[in-house]
Amino acid sequence: MQDTYAELDRSLGAIASGVEASEAHGCLCGALCAEDAFPATEWAAEVLPDDAGETAAAALVPLLSDIRDATLGTLAGDDMDFQPLLPDDTQPLDERVRALAAWCSGFLYGMGRSGVLDKLPGDLGEILQDFSEISRATLATGEAGDDAERNYTELVEFVRASVQLAFEELAPQRSRGAAARGQEH
């Protein structure tokens, strides 16, 4: 996935998106958890700058589609191998913390755009509050070393497991949305 992170980050930067790869992936994951259909074209509309032309969108949609399909596959799979798209561990810790914060912010946006925030089952409201806190995370000056790395790793694992839980818990709502849309047609 690290190659995917770098490729998405480069692609978004090339079109002056203003949305970094981790935030974009968080948005995707939040939307996939909350909505039964979130095509790559809708995701592109969320991450492309307002002044991006059709050429930029057409160039980005295949990459977004591949990432969307792979992400949905891991969320829906039985292996519980979903991973948020973040910089790899060779990057400075402050960059990784910033990316995790942006990822959580994107996730909250993706969930919020669907309108499900007022009808969350189980502990999802509390999890989203935690994500809101993580979205403001920074690495304090002088905070580094093994403890900081361990704390970051634990946060990433919490996010990973929480997203997997959110996807499972919201499955009935996604199914009702799909059924309602099927009746409209």
Q: What is the mean pLDDT of residues 65-82?
A: 93
Contact call for residues 106 and 86 (beta carbons, < 8 A): no
pLDDT band at 185 (very low <50, low <70, confident <90, very high): very low
Contact call for residues 51 and 16 (beta carbons, < 8 A): no
d(CA 6, CA 1): 9
Domain count, the chain: 1
Task: List the single range of 34-48, 64-78, 114-128 with lowest mean pLDDT.
Answer: 114-128
CATH code of the domain in which 55 resides: 1.20.120.740
pLDDT on residue 118: 75
Residue 183 has pLDDT above 70, yes or no: no
Domain with 112 in it: 2-184
